[in-house]
Structure 1
């Protein structure tokens, strides 16, 4: 089992230095302008990446942080505060949230986007493997949503991803122990299911955020105020 989802060896150099963060803020601003003007995400990121001489990992980061003004306004208008969660049904983009929490608990770099959502640089590549922080991440979700007195939690995972079935079993066993009203779904197209749901979504996926009725910024609610590895724009 992998130890954690902590930062890579070069990340302090790429993201930790003040001048690098300043350069990335400028890059995010430029890319956000292009997105607002209707340019495609991939072409905008490539253009801005070349302009600021960003490597692929840095380009991945600004891609997660950038968003046009219209998209930002739309997403923020649909965002609920934790006080509004009581009695609500919640639908969670499973791997998206779990991996973000694992990264945070592993002290990896996180990136706060123009829309306020947090993203990391982890990727599945068709396979999910639990890490040392997985259990703590699940406990964090359970404890927080219980405190908010939500009515039900629906976890949704990519069925084609290896070990999604194991995650389903782990979550249902955890829910049974703690008497949580949790349902776990394995779907071939989880993004579409979440986007079309009437439940409050928990995700940082931009495509989903543009389409949901309401969403909750879970990471913003639990990230420590003094988190050392946060890059903002």
Structure 2
């Protein structure tokens, strides 16, 4: 297989400073979510009250969830040591590649209240067929080959540019790593991931829509992110938020 990679676009690290106002906003957001208020309305409210930047707002949106939602998702998390108890792992392709790519270039990652690690690149950087994202895919599959001995299904969203080429590269990399791997293209990638994960098969994804619809979740990219760039992980954890709640 011979492919010509593009030059990567914006690769300057996306950095978020952990200022006090961000954590105060997170506390209010978490408190109001637990009281049942509309998520978008209260996100607008705390953004205005604390003069949050666009990136800080995105951080709250991707990292703070109600206590009930957070607990339900945490209960689904599969630990690294238990992964081989399952014969199959389904990977949400671009979701996981994006987070690993963010870790590789030193973006801020957020450890969310639901136990998952997420990137902040979604609205700031597009996935393209360039060395950064191909390297992220290689790193992800290379480490996975050392952790997991079962069947791997990687689902790529066919509506994303270069998805066909990413699937081809994934198949070749799996062969190199001796992974029993299937790479699928789907124009309804979220649904395909959920269907592939029936009967309790773990899914590697931090996409809330997917996480809420499957039985088990393995935070593959998050675990790798904490190894690659531990100092770049900003923790928005329940204990911090609850301590700052209004009384």
What is the TM-score of this pair, normalised by structure 2? 0.82
RMSD (Å) for aligned C-alpha atoms: 2.3
Paired position in structure 1 for 2:178: 179
Paired position in structure 2 for 1:72: 70
Paired position in structure 1 for 2:91: 92
Q: Structure 1, residues 149-192: CA drift from partner, whole Å, max 9, x if none?
A: 33111111111111111111111121223332111111122112
**Pair 1:229 & 2:228 matched:** no
Q: Distance in 1 between matches of 2:8 and 2:29?
A: 34
Unpaired runs of 5+ residues, structure 2, are: 1-6, 237-247
Paired position in structure 2 for 1:134: 133
2:31 to 26, 30, 33: 33
After superposition, the Cα gap between the structure-2 partners of 1:37 and 1:190, relative to the gap in structure 1 and judged at 3 Å, is farther
Q: Which residues of 2 match residues 140-179 of structure 1 at below 5 A?
A: 140-179=139-178
3-state DSSP of counterpart to 2:91: strand
Shift of 1:83: 1.4
Q: Which residues of 2 match residues 18-29 of structure 1 at below 5 A?
A: 18=18, 20=19, 22-29=20-27
1:126/1:161 contact within 8 Å kept: no
2:91/2:204 contact within 8 Å kept: yes
Unpaired runs of 5+ residues, structure 1, are: none
Shift of 1:112: 1.1
How many residues align? The count is: 225
1:127/1:161 contact within 8 Å kept: no
Shift of 1:127: 5.9
What is the TM-score of this pair, normalised by structure 1? 0.87
Shift of 1:36: 2.7
3-state DSSP of counterpart to 1:92: strand
3-state DSSP of counterpart to 1:185: strand
